[in-house]
Amino acid sequence: MSHVMSIEPNPPAALLALQREALAPELTGPDLEPEALNRRFAAADPQELVEWAAATFGDGLVLSTSFGIQSAATLHLVTRVAPGVPVIWVDTGYLPPETYRFAAELRERLALNLHVVQSPLSPARMEALHGRLWESEDPADLDRYDRIRKVEPMRRALAELGARAWISGIRAEQTEHRSRLPRIDRQAERFKISPILHWTTKQVHEYLKANDLPYHPLFYEGYATVGDAHSSRALDADDAHERDTRFGGRKQECGLHLSDEEDESLTASRL
């Protein structure tokens, strides 16, 4: 039973994956070396990078979103260039009510081809078997939480949708790890593209304002970043960085944006 749930009826995920595999071009060769591509697009604006990705990967291109504080910017940027691109949303089952309402608003406004993916292990069952993992001081428990609720569902969604390239809205300012990432990379067998990686918070604000796009509702209550309700809070004067408001500052990465080959998501809480 698939746990990728599309808002609108879609062909079976396995059939879609086979069709895309048969039609997709070979994604190797000197023109698709990440190092060369990053040189080529070093000065490119985000829209140019998205246009290249759409032309290169076609139906094999997907976009992810968390419906976080500034998510409307990337969603608008990408869907304006590639309407109908599959948008993957990992719903942990613990998101604030405001996030679900924000998602509904943006889905309607931007006509998102939204695919909601969840862990096959319900929140109640996970807590019965493993306890309230997010409260633990043990990094291994935080890693297990992320693997169950985020990493495994995302990997499954990418596979079922036949993704050959994944666009993400991550930014270098967000964590030390992300500050070292290139705009174009390979993560496992697919390309990873981060068009706004080098945008500042000010640039994101300017884009939202220019396009009359909303922030997440909790932004107006002092949140600089938001994830699960149980481990997100508003920014306060003692916080050195906005990510200190997530999981009590005990972790910066959730595992989604780390190398699959090395399976760094197993130690994401140490970043």
- The whole-number pLDDT of residue 245 equals 82
Nearest Cα neighbor of 65 from 22, 97, 110, 17 is 110
- The whole-number pLDDT of residue 239 equals 72
- The whole-number pLDDT of residue 243 equals 73
Q: The pTM is what?
A: 0.83
At residue 37, φ and ψ (nearest 5 deg) are -65, -40
**β-bridge partners, 132:** none
Report the b/e string of 236-248 with b at 16+ CB within 10 A.
Answer: eeeeebbbbbbbe
What is the signed CA dihedral for 263, 266, 267, 271, rounded to 10 degrees? 70
Per-residue pLDDT of the chain (271 residues; tens, 9 = 90+): 444 444 343 444 444 444 444 434 455 555 788 899 999 998 999 999 999 999 999 999 999 999 999 999 999 999 999 999 999 999 999 999 999 999 999 999 999 999 999 999 999 999 999 999 999 989 999 999 999 999 999 999 999 999 999 999 988 887 788 788 899 998 878 999 999 999 999 999 999 999 999 999 999 999 988 999 999 988 887 777 777 787 777 766 666 666 654 455 444 544 4
What's the angle, vertex CA 268, arms to CA 67 and CA 215, rounded to 5?
Answer: 15
Give the residue numbers marked as catalytic.
254
Q: Which domains does the chain carry? A: 4-261 (3.40.50.620)
User: DSSP letter at 65?
Assistant: E
Q: List strand residue ranges (DSSP E) for 132-234, in order.
A: 165-167, 184-187, 190-193
